Amino acid sequence: QVTLKESGPALVKPTQTLTLTCTFSGFSLTTVGTRLSWIRQPPGKALEWLARIDWDDDKFYSTSLKTRLTMSKDTSKNQVVLTMTNMDPVDTATYYCARMHSSGWSLEFWGQGILVIVSS
């Protein structure tokens, strides 16, 4: 059974760095072809793809946010970490992690999401 759960702060101040952790079970990020993505959704708005990390540690980022995003993985803990620098109130959103389908092009299993509010 595949599960994913996001964790991190519910509130960050403007200009701070956000660090989110995705803890998963039911699969390993050392398995060839396994990929994880982060997605966010501002309240009442659409989903936005942020980043992807692969089993071989390749990482890919949204063109518009790549200067602010960093992904890493800790395979021993079954965790993936996303950091986003220089947070702004417009970054207020629910942040999701998702395991991608084996074909590599879609988001098969999702975490429950974590709401992060950016406010002073």
Partner 1 sequence: QSALIQPRSVSGSPGQSVTISCIGTSSDVGGYNYVSWYQQHPGKAPKFMIYDVNKRPSGVPDRFSGSKSGNTASLIISGLQAEDEADYYCFSYAGSYTYVFGTGTTVTVL
Residues found near partner 1 in the complex (CB under 8 A): 37, 39, 46-49, 52, 60-64, 96, 101, 103, 105-113
Q: How far is the CB of 47 from partner 1 (least distance, A)?
A: 4
What CA–CA distance (Å, rounded) separates 62 from 78?
Answer: 23
Nearer to partner 1 by C-beta: 14 or 108?
108
Nearer to partner 1 by C-beta: 42 or 89?
42
Nearer to partner 1 by C-beta: 14 or 104?
104
Q: How far is the CB of 102 from partner 1 (least distance, A)?
A: 10
The contacts of residue 51 (CB under 8 Å, 6+ apart) are 37, 38, 59, 60, 61, 62, 65, 69, 71, 82
Q: How far is the CB of 105 from partner 1 (least distance, A)?
A: 4
Q: How far is the CB of 76 from partner 1 (least distance, A)?
A: 26
Give one word for 55, left, alpha or beta, with left for phi > 0 and alpha for psi -120 to 50.
alpha
